[in-house]
């Protein structure tokens, strides 16, 4: 049982480059989330999805886009990376019993 899998785990980008983080869950969860974690701060919600084909903004959505074309996948895109987007990104999904499962994280550095 893989749970929540994120790829890539590490990435270095130049300012202005674009990239996509992939999140895959094999638990048939409807709800999926993308968070970022910065030093000294709690996790902050970027975007979330309540089901296939739906997405919604979280508290820090600017500079990011998401897509949920398939129930098991939730993609986070950076169209034009900025140094302020250097962070650790966590994907999560939520079970019907409201337990939240996190991925292992993706470390992104924008230089």
Partner 1 sequence: KNQVEQSPQSLIILEGKNCTLQCNYTVSPFSNLRWYKQDTGRGPVSLTIMTFSENTKSNGRYTATLDADTKQSSLHITASQLSDSASYICVVRLGYNQGGKLIFGQGTELSVKP
Q: What is the distance between the terminal CA atoms of the chain, rounded to a whole angstrom?
A: 36
Residues 71-110, one symbol each (x = binds partner 1 by CB under 8 A, - = not), give: -------------------x-x-----xxxxxxxx-----
CA–CA separation, 111 and 32 (whole Å): 29
> For 51-72, b where at least 16 C-beta lie within 10 A, e where not — what string?
eeeebeebebbeebebebeeeb
| Residue 45 near partner 1 by CB under 8 A | yes
Give 27 or 45: the residue with its C-beta nearer to partner 1.
45
| Ranges within 14-33 binding partner 1 (CB under 8 A) | none
1 binds partner 1 (CB under 8 A): no
Q: Applying CB under 8 A, which residues contact partner 1?
A: 4, 40-45, 90, 92, 98-105
């Amino acid at each position: 049982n893989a749970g929540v899998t994120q790829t890539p785990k590490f990435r270095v980008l130049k300012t202005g480059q674009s990239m996509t983080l992939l999140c895959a869950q094999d638990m048939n969860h409807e709800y999926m989330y993308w968070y970022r974690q910065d030093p000294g701060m709690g996790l902050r919600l970027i975007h979330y999805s309540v089901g296939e084909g739906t997405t919604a903004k979280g508290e820090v959505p600017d500079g990011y886009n998401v897509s949920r074309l398939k129930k098991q996948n939730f993609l986070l895109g950076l169209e034009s990376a900025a140094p302020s987007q250097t962070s650790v990104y966590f994907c999560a999904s939520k079970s019907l019993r409201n337990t939240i499962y996190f991925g292992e994280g993706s470390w992104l550095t924008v230089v």
